[in-house]
Amino acid sequence: MYNLELLEKSSAKATIELKGEEFKKVRESIVNEFKNAKIDGFRKGHAPLDVIEKTFGDKINEELFNYVLNSEIKKMVEEKELEVLGQISVENHSLTNDELKVEISFELKPKFELPKYKELGIKEETEEITDEKVEGYLKSIVEREKKLEKSDKKVAENNDTVNINFEGFVDGEAFEGGKAENYNLKLGSHSFIDTFEDQIVGHSVDEEFDVNVVFPEEYHAENLKGKPALFKVKLNSIQVEKLPTVDDEFAKSKGYDTLADYKNSLKAQLELNSENQAKDKKYQEIADKLVETTEMELPVNIVKSEVENQKNALAQQLSMQGLDLKKYLELSGKTEEEFEKDVEDRAQKVVKYNLIIGKIAEIEGIKVEKEEIEKELEKMAAMYKMTLDQLREELQKAKMLENYINQIAGSIFMTKVKEFLVKNN
């Protein structure tokens, strides 16, 4: 027996009751499952019911509670054709000798009208890949492979790469992170603070000299913000950049017979990149349009959960960069209130879009097949030089198998949705 109450914003609550003959029948069935359990002083299967209940009372009550959660709630959901989102929360429960009452709350998929999602007139605009763009791409590859060689130059000039030793002092004391030896620095790159690089220009190889600078007010180290500093510098050498010669031999080092073949390959890469970027841009415009034109009441707790997911993901990312939220807000120039609003807005859009594409997938029959998940698991197994069974076993040991399979399924699903929407618009 249950009493269901539908609330606003796609929320619901219900009271599930198990009582009378039904309660007695279910409880007896559970007690009977413990009949063959080992109880000191009795042969297996011969302990009286009152002894079984006394010995396993807590476990019997737990099984009774689980029965309500697994069977009675499932029956209610099926009878009322409810589409439950997220986890069902147990708000309260009570148990007597002849009745179990459980109060729950949960959220439902909101009812909404799906907007037009095909033939929206959003164009896919790819960038033309000219010979000039190919040459620019090739130049960037060559730049990454440049080598530094010692120069005969004796005096440093702007745009030179110099090798230096340095040690910094603030208020006469050396500070952490302010010392290095044999450091390569390109003058004019502005990678060092203030006029540090400018003050090296004009000095000679093997010369030792002082550089005076002031740390910027927004510097990441709190103890150095706005502080004047003295650096003791020694100019070890001046180096020149040596670029590889771009010819057929260079192309062969990349796995091609001729430079022309290599350039054709680079052009194909750029065209593929351009095509993928155009599809990504088109897909984002479609997604934005669908979110903008769909009206629905969002489930509050699902949005809250997405807010927490986004905050946790950001915290992890910042931690890897050695930052925290306070520093992030300083660098982004946002107040805590603005940050909270941004996260809330993003979370609402994510939840809304997921509900929209879920409905589109139902209509269009977009789903993830078991074989597709297996194929991705096989790829991962091959990457780690394992059999599929070995991979499953390792993931199971680490309690990651279910989570990993869900991630794979989610990724495949989103790819299919993206391909469908891009193709049909």
- Listed in sequence order, the residues at least 6 apart from 295 whose beta carbon sits closer than 8 Å to its beta carbon are 112, 113
Cα 246 from Cα 266, distance rounded (Å): 14
Residue 346: what are its φ and ψ, rounded to 5°? Answer: -65, -45
**What number does CATH give the domain 260-424?**
1.10.3120.10
Cβ contact 200:162 at 8 Å: yes
Question: What is the residue whose two structure tokens read 């910027």?
Answer: 216
Token pair listed for 67: 């029965």
**DSSP category for residue 53:** H
Q: What is the mean pLDDT of residues 341-370?
A: 96
- The predicted structure's pLDDT at residue 400: 92
Residue 206: what are its φ and ψ, rounded to 5°? Answer: 75, 0
Cβ contact 349:291 at 8 Å: yes
Q: Which burial class, exposed, middle or buried, applies to 50 when counting CB atoms under 10 A from its CB (0-12, 13-18, 19+)? A: exposed
- The predicted structure's pLDDT at residue 305: 92
Cα 293 from Cα 113, distance rounded (Å): 10
CATH 3.10.50.40 residue window(s) in the chain: 147-242
Cα 385 from Cα 405, distance rounded (Å): 19
pLDDT tens-place string over residues 170-207: 999 999 989 999 999 999 999 999 999 999 999 999 99
Q: Could you give the percent of the chain with pLDDT greater than 70?
A: 100
Sequence letter at residue 27: R
pLDDT tens-place string over residues 134-168: 999 999 999 999 888 888 899 999 989 999 999 99
Q: Which CATH number fits domain 147-242: 3.40.190.10, 2.60.120.10, 3.40.50.620, 3.10.50.40?
A: 3.10.50.40
Which of 91-105, 195-209, 256-270 shows the lowest mean pLDDT across its residues? 91-105
Cα 309 from Cα 323, distance rounded (Å): 18
pLDDT tens-place string over residues 29-80: 888 888 777 888 777 777 787 888 888 888 888 998 898 888 889 999 999 9
Residue among 64, 38, 34, 62 nearest 49 (CA):
34
Token pair listed for 36: 């063959």
Cα 324 from Cα 316, distance rounded (Å): 9
- Taking CA atoms, 314 is separated from 348, 350, 406, 419, in Å, by 17, 16, 21, 28
Cα 281 from Cα 168, distance rounded (Å): 47
Crossing angle of the two packed helices 401-423 and 259-293, in degrees rounded to 10 = 90
Token pair listed for 58: 């807590």
pLDDT of 106 higher than 90? yes
- The predicted structure's pLDDT at residue 109: 92
pLDDT tens-place string over residues 292-340: 999 999 999 899 999 999 999 999 999 988 888 988 898 888 899 999 9
* H helix or E strand, kind and range, residue 209: strand 208-214
- The predicted structure's pLDDT at residue 34: 83
Mean pLDDT of the chain, nearest integer: 92
- Listed in sequence order, the residues at least 6 apart from 364 whose beta carbon sits closer than 8 Å to its beta carbon are 420
pLDDT tens-place string over residues 196-236: 999 999 999 999 999 999 999 888 888 899 999 999 999 99
pLDDT tens-place string over residues 109-121: 999 999 999 999 9
Q: Which CATH number fits domain 2-108: 3.30.70.1050, 3.40.640.10, 2.40.128.20, 3.30.1370.30?
A: 3.30.70.1050
For the stretch 373-386, what's the b/e string if a residue is b when 16 or more beta carbons lie within 10 angstroms of its beta carbon? beebbeeebeeeee
Q: What is the mean pLDDT of residues 93-120?
A: 92
The pTM assigned to this predicted structure is: 0.74
- The predicted structure's pLDDT at residue 330: 86
Neighbours of 68 (CB within 10 A): 20
Q: What is the mean pLDDT of residues 240-244?
A: 89
pLDDT band of residue 424 (cuts 50, 70, 90) is very high
Cα 194 from Cα 211, distance rounded (Å): 10
CATH 1.10.3120.10 residue window(s) in the chain: 260-424
